[in-house]
Amino acid sequence: MSPTRLFRVVATAEALTWAGLLTGMFFKYVTETTELGVRVFGMLHGVVFIGYCLTTVVVAVDRRWTLGRTALGLASAVPPFMTVWFDRHVERRAGLGDTWRLVGEDAARPVERPVAWLLRNPARGVAAALVAVVALTGVALLVGPPAS
């Protein structure tokens, strides 16, 4: 999967889970009928949020984004639907690509080495990503939900 395709899929999924969470919040707080949507989409959004952040870091390292562009990409996960805007924004500025640079190019910086390994070993890379998402979700559950 190309960097463009992966980033678009994860950014869209993050926006869709935001929509589900906001809908659930409407039913919980406005109509006061059910909190099921918040329970379901809250957890789902949290998992996809973590996946989006990890994807952003991998793409940023591979594409050699500036620290500012990377920070903007990560920050775009906070306001609803901004990941879709950021995806379009960075694509217009040639910040994504059809191939992974680190698959065919040697890692020049230490931060590129683990990303190159993940990209060159796709099955292990996916497994490592899943483990990271599960571990970070576990940490988030231990810390607890945001204070209301």
Q: What is the mean pLDDT of the chain?
A: 92
148 pLDDT more than 60: no
**Residue 95's pLDDT band (boundaries 50, 70, 90)?**
confident
84 pLDDT more than 90: yes
**Residue 146's pLDDT band (boundaries 50, 70, 90)?**
low
What's the whole-model pTM score? Answer: 0.91
How much of the chain is in helix, strand and coil states, percent to nearest 5? 75, 0, 25
Phi-psi label, residue 2: left if phi above 0, alpha if psi -120 to 50, beta otherwise? beta
**Residue 144's pLDDT band (boundaries 50, 70, 90)?**
confident
The count of other CB atoms within 10 Å of the CB of residue 28 is: 17
pLDDT digits (tens, 9 = 90+) for 8-25: 999 999 999 999 999 999
**Residue 97's pLDDT band (boundaries 50, 70, 90)?**
confident
Stretch 112-118: mean pLDDT, rounded?
95
Instruction: Please list, in sequence order, all residues whose beta carbon lies within 8 angstroms of the beta carbon of residue 104, skipping any fewer than 6 positions away.
Output: none
**Residue 37's pLDDT band (boundaries 50, 70, 90)?**
confident
Q: Is the Cβ–Cβ distance between 2 and 99 less than 8 Å?
A: yes
Stretch 107-132: mean pLDDT, rounded?
93
